[in-house]
């Protein structure tokens, strides 16, 4: 597991997620406090690098519409398309990052981070078992702090990997 981690102010994070604007909607609207590096975007979906990644190259995938429930709020076609986007972005993450396992999960609740989004996190090889799974994903254990240049480079490599896969069509 990468050693260079910075502490995450969990109290501030919780306050922001519970009282601030929807982070996905704010990002899509161009709010400067909610900037992210986009990896993929089409008419209905967006994929972007997590600003506080717990693993290298952690990506979030969300529908552009403010949808809150993964099974109730999506019809079968929309759900299937979203899962195709999640799969393709995960495969692109694996093309860019050497990994032992790729974690896919959706979190959030009506109390905070309500906008449906999927996390894609590639577990690097060699991470001790005790530091895998939930431990590797929890912000309480710190977040990586890549430079702006590293983040832009990673996003560029991921965009290229998505395009080379050719399944999702040309990027917007």
Sequence-ordered strand ranges (E) for the chain: 5-6, 38-41, 45-49, 59-63, 101-106, 118-123, 143-144
Q: Name the pLDDT band for 99 (thresholds 50, 70, 90).
A: very high
Cα 92–chain centre separation? 13
Look up tokens 């480079």; give the residue.
153
What pLDDT does residue 171 have? 59
* Confidence at residue 85, expressed as pLDDT on a 0 to 100 scale: 98
CA separation, residue 147 to residues 27, 34, 51, 97, 126 (Å)? 20, 17, 11, 17, 24
DSSP summary character for residue 124: P
Average pLDDT, the chain: 92
Domains of the chain are 5-164 (3.30.428.10)
Q: What is the pLDDT of residue 1?
A: 43
pLDDT 10s digits, 38-97: 999 999 999 999 999 999 999 999 999 999 998 899 999 999 999 999 999 999 999 999
**pLDDT at residue 170 in the model:** 67
- Are the C-beta atoms of 65 and 73 separated by less than 8 Å? no
pTM above 0.85, yes or no: yes
Give the per-residue pLDDT at 75.
94
């Amino acid at each position: 597991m990468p050693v260079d981690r910075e502490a995450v102010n969990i109290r501030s994070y919780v306050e922001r997620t519970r009282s601030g604007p929807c982070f996905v909607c704010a990002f899509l609207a161009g709010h400067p406090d909610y900037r992210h590096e986009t990896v993929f975007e089409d008419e209905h979906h967006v994929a972007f690098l997590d600003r506080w990644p717990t693993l290298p190259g952690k990506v979030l995938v969300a529908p552009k519409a403010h949808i809150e429930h993964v099974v109730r709020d999506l019809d079968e076609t929309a759900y299937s398309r979203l899962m195709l986007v999640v799969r393709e972005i995960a495969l692109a993450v694996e093309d860019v990052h050497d990994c032992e396992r790729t974690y896919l999960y959706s979190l959030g609740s009506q109390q905070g981070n309500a906008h449906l989004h999927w996390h894609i996190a590639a577990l690097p090889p060699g991470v001790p078992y005790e530091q895998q799974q939930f431990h590797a994903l929890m912000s309480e254990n710190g977040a990586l702090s890549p430079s702006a240049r590293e983040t832009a480079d990673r996003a560029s490599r991921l965009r290229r990997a998505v395009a080379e896969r050719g399944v999702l069509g040309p990027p917007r």
